[in-house]
Amino acid sequence: MDVLTRMRTIGCPLRGGFGKQKPFKIEPTDSTREARRLLAERDEKIQISNDLYEFDEEDASDIIYLTSFRLMRNETSVINIHPRVHRYVSHSICQTNYTPRTNLGYLDKLPLELLHDICINYLDLRSLFRFRHTNRRAQIVVHNIRGYRTITAHALGSFCAIYRSQIARWYTLRNLLDLLHQRDCTFCGRFGGYVFLISFTRCCYLCMSQMPQLEAATVGEITMHYPLTEEDLEDVPKVRTVGGQGYSCPSVCSRWPLQLVAEGHIAGPENCGFIDKIRLLLDPTIERPHPLRFMSTTFLPYVDRDSGHVEYGVACIGCSVGFEGIVRSDDGPSELGDKYYHLEGIAYSEEGFIEHFRRCPISQVIWEECCRACELEQTVNLEELALEKGWYKVRRDGTRHK
């Protein structure tokens, strides 16, 4: 059976043309909710220890500081705008110290509350930025919006990624604020530090890499494998790939920027995965997860709506040490090794990390050693501690594993 025949046997999930109807809303389905329940059950089974570690609640912030770290390798694999890019524009975007010389014309007759409501709920982000560039009075009006100040203060890189990817015309400031104040992943319930820009969906790194609802495809792929034309896709949100990022892959390299569409907007959340099956048939060696997912995703921190507290997500040092010890070990597969394999690289909220810390014995030992070293005014060498506790193996000839 040739490739084209096999492609026909898969069957396109889209019946008829897309026409002018609105794109499907990407949200968890019944199958996704079942997967979420099974994931929660698996998390209970892979807990390293069933004994809850007791500590003073006042030490929670110190525990997070000493036994966790920010997982930067995942953040740099998606659209990541370096802070130095904002060096010359952040002052004008985040602050306004000018005295207005003109007014907004008829708009100045409206109450300020109504103006803010229009800017937040009715103007898309691109129109909001254009309105802000009208004059200094417009800059002051936009800057006085609390949500705008929150975004530019804590998520300026994400804000820049939204404009550079040209998705700003599809969503409003309210949509972005809702994402900023949403802590957990839409699909699995863990800490979600990323946003799938095409559908403005908060997700974690694992769901972004695997969920079929977050599959991205080029306009060319959609028109080739679905009964649609480019005109049919005019009313569908699209992302323009941002160059100069670390997610570049030879299989998707292009001289010109690509226009990406979410397959969930075309086929509906229940029928996603068709494009991925076609790609696998055409090239069984294709990289998975597909790089287009990373090209349409950016990092977004969580900001508490009431307190203003900002969280970027933290990973467990203890689980990373345990996983590294399993990798260095010459021993075969083990139940403990399987647990560390699943736990390594997971990002937690601060509340979620404290719950995990109560069951992670390596992190507990690191915390106790840090407390002891602090009393003696010493430092803790993690490599030496891991060798001393037996977390890292030593060869029979006495040399360390590299």
Going from the C-alpha of 113 to that of each of 103, 173, 244, 341, the distances in angstroms are 17, 15, 40, 52
Range 317-332 average pLDDT: 75
80 and 174 within one domain = yes
Q: Look up residue 261 and give its two tokens.
A: 């569409």
183 and 154 within one domain = yes
318 and 292 within one domain = no
Give burial (CB, 10 Å; 0-12/13-18/19+) of 207: buried
Q: How confident is the model at residue 374 (pLDDT cuts 50, 70, 90)?
A: confident
CA-CA distance, 188 to 207, in Å (whole number)? Answer: 7
- Three-state secondary-structure class, residue 381: coil
pTM, whole model, 2 decimals? 0.82
Domain count across the chain: 2
Q: How confident is the model at residue 13 (pLDDT cuts 50, 70, 90)?
A: very low
Least confident of 8-12, 41-45, 71-75, 324-328: 8-12
43 and 111 within one domain = no
> Is 19 a member of any domain?
no
Q: Given a cut of 60, is residue 393 above it in pLDDT?
A: yes
Where does residue 244 fall: left (phi above 0), alpha (psi -120 to 50 degrees), or beta otherwise? left
Greatest distance between any 2 Cα atoms in the chain = 83
> Is 180 a member of any domain?
yes
165 and 141 within one domain = yes
Contacts of 378 (CB under 8 A, 6+ apart): none
Where does residue 211 fall: left (phi above 0), alpha (psi -120 to 50 degrees), or beta otherwise? beta
DSSP 118-174: HHHHTSBHHHHHHHHTS-HHHHHHHHT-HHHHHHHHH-HHHHHHHHHTT-GGG-BHH
97 and 65 within one domain = no
Range 369-393 average pLDDT: 82
pLDDT of residue 337: 61
Contacts of 286 (CB under 8 A, 6+ apart): 251, 279, 280
> Is 344 a member of any domain?
yes
> Is 1 a member of any domain?
no
- Three-state secondary-structure class, residue 176: helix
Q: Given a cut of 60, is residue 1 above it in pLDDT?
A: no
Tell me the pLDDT tens digit for each residue of 103-140.
Answer: 899 998 999 999 999 999 999 999 999 999 998 899 99
The owner of tokens 């300026």 is: 156
264 and 164 within one domain = yes
321 and 173 within one domain = no
164 and 265 within one domain = yes
pLDDT of residue 396: 45
> Is 222 a member of any domain?
yes
Give burial (CB, 10 Å; 0-12/13-18/19+) of 19: exposed
Closest CA to 308 of 150, 127, 143, 113: 150
Least confident of 149-163, 212-226, 336-350: 336-350
172 and 204 within one domain = yes
DSSP summary character for residue 288: S
> Is 401 a member of any domain?
no
pLDDT of residue 116: 95
CA-CA distance, 343 to 25, in Å (whole number)? Answer: 31
Q: Given a cut of 80, is residue 255 above it in pLDDT?
A: no
Q: Look up residue 68 and give its two tokens.
A: 């966790």
Q: How confident is the model at residue 299 (pLDDT cuts 50, 70, 90)?
A: very high
Q: How confident is the model at residue 145 (pLDDT cuts 50, 70, 90)?
A: very high
Going from the C-alpha of 234 to that of each of 118, 122, 170, 229, the distances in angstroms are 25, 21, 12, 9
| Maximum average pLDDT range among 79-88, 167-176, 377-386 | 167-176
pLDDT of residue 400: 52
122 and 240 within one domain = yes
pLDDT of residue 312: 95
> What is the domain extent for residue 183?
72-245+253-303
> Is 152 a member of any domain?
yes
CA-CA distance, 293 to 290, in Å (whole number)? Answer: 6
Tell me the pLDDT tens digit for each residue of 23-55.
Answer: 445 555 666 556 555 555 555 555 555 567 788
- Three-state secondary-structure class, residue 376: coil
Query: Could you give the dihedral angle defined by the CA atoms of residues 40, 35, 27 and 285, in that order, rounded to the nearest 10 degrees?
Result: 120
Q: Look up residue 252 and give its two tokens.
A: 């998707």
Q: Given a cut of 70, is residue 94 above it in pLDDT?
A: yes
pLDDT of residue 32: 58
pLDDT of residue 212: 85
233 and 86 within one domain = yes
> Is 23 a member of any domain?
no
Where does residue 166 fall: left (phi above 0), alpha (psi -120 to 50 degrees), or beta otherwise? left
CA-CA distance, 402 to 399, in Å (whole number)? Answer: 9
Range 2-20 average pLDDT: 39
CA-CA distance, 401 to 394, in Å (whole number)? Answer: 6
CA-CA distance, 67 to 141, in Å (whole number)? Answer: 43
User: Of all residues in the chain, what percent carry a pLDDT higher than 70?
Assistant: 76
Q: How confident is the model at residue 315 (pLDDT cuts 50, 70, 90)?
A: very high
CA angle 363, 76, 79 (to 5 degrees): 140
DSSP summary character for residue 233: G
Q: How confident is the model at residue 20 (pLDDT cuts 50, 70, 90)?
A: very low
Task: Output 246 or 196, whichever has higher pLDDT.
Answer: 196
- Counting Cα atoms < 13 Å in the Cβ hemisphere of 65 gives 7
User: Of all residues in the chain, what percent carry a pLDDT higher than 90?
Assistant: 34
pLDDT of residue 155: 92
